Structure 1
Amino acid sequence: MINAYLENMVLTANPVRQVILLYEKAISCLDEATELMERGSAGAEDMKRKYESMGRATEILTVLDATLNMEQGGDIARSLHEVYQALINDLVRITVEGDEPQTLRKMIKILTELKESWEEVEKKVYGRPEATAPAV
């Protein structure tokens, strides 16, 4: 039931809202991974959840990067590409080298700032922003 609601929300959202929803989900995934790192539990289930969360965040960043239109977006698109690539590289490094909750917190801050910028774009282009459900 919730998945159908979320799917409908994403499919009917304006393109800017879709980007915002992706940011929200990536932030949620990184929050979960950070919490699991800080808890310090080495249990198999927690490890699995942590890596799945980081994997989902990586997938979202890859989608955001792949949808950039370098021709129309110009310098902004190139800058976003560099940011997305740096974040993806950090996630890969953390996956290989070990836990770095402080790096994930920095990533969350960057993504939150980008999300807020897109929310401003949405206000200017579409008027009032659409209501969103919490990232699941």
Structure 2
Amino acid sequence: MFNAFTPRSASAYQRINVETSMHTIDQHQLVSLLLEGLLQAVATARGALARGDVPTKCSSITKAVRILEEGLMTSLDQEAGGDIAANLEAVYDYSVRRLIQANARNDDAMLQEVYRLIEPISQAWKEMKKNNHAANDVAQPVLAEA
């Protein structure tokens, strides 16, 4: 008999939904999601370290490193980004090294350091989008009058 719901089918729909949404969101939103995911992975690693949950700590740090290397670092446009892109690349590279050291040494201070480095970048990235929307909202009536 046909069963409409199985965990496997739900998982397949979830993957399709994630893949579809990745194609429809803008680049700014994608970077925002990557930064949020990175912060969440570091926070999860810190909690796992405090609990002594080694597998969760390791997988969370691995996730954070992958987000940095495969998401954030590869999305930097070195030519158009100039010094800002170079500085972000240096911060991301440093963060990767610190995460690897934190994993090997079970060092919460290193995890906290990475969180403190990335959090202001994430906040600034969100503010940039808000400011851009506010500028567009102000410009719309001016353009309509012209």
Q: Same fold, TM exceeding 0.5?
A: yes
Unaligned residue ranges in structure 2 (runs of 5+):
1-12, 136-146
Mapping 1:4-83, distance limit 5 Å: 4-39=16-51, 41=52, 46-63=53-70, 64-83=72-91
Moved more, 10-19 or 85-94: 10-19
Corresponding position of 2:9 = none
Normalising by the residue count of structure 2, what TM-score does the alignment of the two structures yield? 0.75
SS in 2 for 1:67: coil
Give 1:102 shift: 1.8
Unaligned residue ranges in structure 1 (runs of 5+):
129-136
Higher helix share: 2
Moved more, 26-35 or 106-115: 106-115
Alpha-carbon distance in structure 2 between the residues aligned to 1:73 and 1:86: 19
Q: Which structure exhibits the higher relative contact order, with contacts defined as CA atoms closer than 8 Å and separated by 6 or more residues?
A: 1
Give 1:94 shift: 1.9
Corresponding position of 1:110 = 117
- Summarize the Cα distance change of 1:127–1:11 in structure 2 as closer, same or farther, 3 Å threshold: farther
- What is the root-mean-square deviation in Å for CA atoms of aligned residues? 1.9
Corresponding position of 1:90 = 98
Alpha-carbon distance in structure 1 between the residues aligned to 2:45 and 2:128: 29
